[in-house]
Amino acid sequence: MKKLVAVLLSLVMLMTATSALGLTIAFSQIGQESDWRTANTDDMKAGIEAEGWNYVYSDAQQQQPNQVAALRSFITQGVDYILFTGVVSTGWEEVLKEVNEAEIPLILVDRMPDAETMAVIEYVGAFGGDFVEEGRRMAHWTGNYMASVGRGDEEVNVVILEGTTGSAAAMDRSAGILEAIELYPNLNVVGSQTGNFTRAEGLAVMESFLKSIDKIDVVLAQNDDMALGAIDAIKAAGMVPGVDIIIVGCDAVKNAFDVIVAGEMNATIECTPLYSAAVVELIKYLEAGGEPSRDIINPEEFAFCVEGGIVYSADGRVSIKAADAIDERVY
């Protein structure tokens, strides 16, 4: 009993100590384009506020100038930490150097600035998905799935729905897809266009692909929202999504799981939006005198599909059956 009281007391003291830090954490978010983004925004707010810290949030509505203005406003407000993800990858050097000059610790989340900028700015931690690998996984899953259903020698026409032009997530996923698809000579990319990571634009681009391309066998959508838009377009064109056209998304959001379990979508490659636990842990570590790190931490991610059992990476990882994992999805 004494032990329990002592443990509880030290827990209370630790909680009081971290909330007594009275920190103000500011987050410059990109916008609200997708289910992933909503989950990312909600998770960050919940994680920071659970610590009793003050949370300042800015939604840039996909506009880089809005993000630049938000960062400058965070500097003026004298916040204690800035969390940042960039809508596009270039054009950040000047404002991020201003953050450095103000000596506000910068934590990069999700989409990193380009390599040139990363090399010249200071940051205390970085957490984000390995977008190139996610793209590769989309191609590996598709090539291996096609072979598994006896279509490994068939000429297969693939269209790509790209994310926001100039964003790290879109550029890197495209690079990964195009690199890995080379290993499957029967997969031919016959169209590639931006759907801006939104369901509405995914639908519109898919409609135009269906009108202009005679035969489409596979859609590789760089996020699940665009995959869901493509499904709407395929249905409207009188075809059966998931059967007449194979659909592979990225993110692994709950809405995609529902559609995969219903058989209208074939697979999704995971990209987690849940970074608040890592961010909170880092802030506590730094406040306790820990050393910043320049490593970019990539979370472990998986792939999910209708039946499971499909190899989706060069190192032989095997996909999980979506129906077996749907109850554990938190976003």
Q: Classify residue 62 as left (phi > 0), alpha (psi -120 to 50) or beta.
A: left
CB-based contact 131:172 (threshold 8 Å) = yes
Give the shortest CB-230-to-ligand AHR separation in angstroms. 14
Angle between helices 276-287 and 35-49 (to 10 degrees): 30
Q: What 3-state DSSP class applies to 80?
A: coil
Using the rule CB under 6 A, is 160 a contact of ligand AHR?
no
The answer to whether residues 273 and 37 touch, using CB atoms and an 8 Å cutoff, is yes
Q: Which is nearer to ligand AHR, 18 or 117 (CB)?
A: 117
Q: Does 84 bind ligand AHR (CB under 6 A)?
A: no
In whole angstroms, how close is the CB of 223 to ligand AHR at the nearest point? 3
List the one residue from 271, 305, 310, 311 that touches ligand AHR (CB under 6 A): 271
Residues 223/200, Cβ–Cβ less than 8 Å = no
Q: How many other β-carbons are positioned within 10 Å of the β-carbon of residue 182?
A: 10
Site string (215-254) toward ligand AHR, x via CB under 6 A: --------x--------------------------xx---
Q: Say how many residues touch ligand AHR, by CB under 6 A.
A: 12
Q: What is the pairing mode between strands 218-221 and 267-270?
A: unpaired
- Which 3 state secondary structure label does DSSP give 108? strand
| Helix/strand/coil for 18 | helix
Tokens (6 digits) for 100: 């450095």
Residues 183-202 that bind ligand AHR (CB under 6 A): 197
Calculate the dihedral angle through the C-alpha atoms of 28, 32, 38, 43, rounding to the nearest 10 degrees: 10
Shortest approach of ligand AHR to residue 2 CB, angstroms? Answer: 49
Q: Of 18 and 41, which has the nearer Cβ to ligand AHR? A: 41
- In terms of CB distance, is 250 or 311 closer to ligand AHR? 250
Nearer to ligand AHR, 34 or 313 (CB): 34
Closest alpha carbon to 86 in 67, 102, 69: 67
CB of 93 to ligand AHR, least distance (A): 20
Stretch that binds ligand AHR, among 30-38, 51-59, 206-214, 257-265 (CB under 6 A): 30-38
CB contact set of 237 (below 8 Å; sequence gap of 6+): 207, 210
Q: Of the listed pieces 32-40, 48-56, 153-161, 322-330, which binds ligand AHR according to CB under 6 A?
A: 32-40
Q: Which of residues 104-123 bind ligand AHR (CB under 6 A)?
A: 110-111
Residue 304's DSSP bridge partners are 268, 320
Minimum gap (Å) between residue 185 Cβ and ligand AHR = 28
- Is 33 a binding residue for ligand AHR by CB under 6 A? The answer is yes
Place of tokens 């005198």: 289
The 35-54 contact track toward ligand AHR, x by CB under 6 A, reads -xx-----------------
Helix pair angle (224-236, 199-212), 10° resolution: 50
C-alpha to C-alpha distances, 44 to 17, 26, 70, nearest whole angstrom: 21, 10, 17
List the interface residues with ligand AHR, window 278-297 (CB under 6 A): none
- Applying CB under 6 A, the residues found at the interface with ligand AHR are 33-34, 36-37, 110-111, 169, 197, 223, 250-251, 271
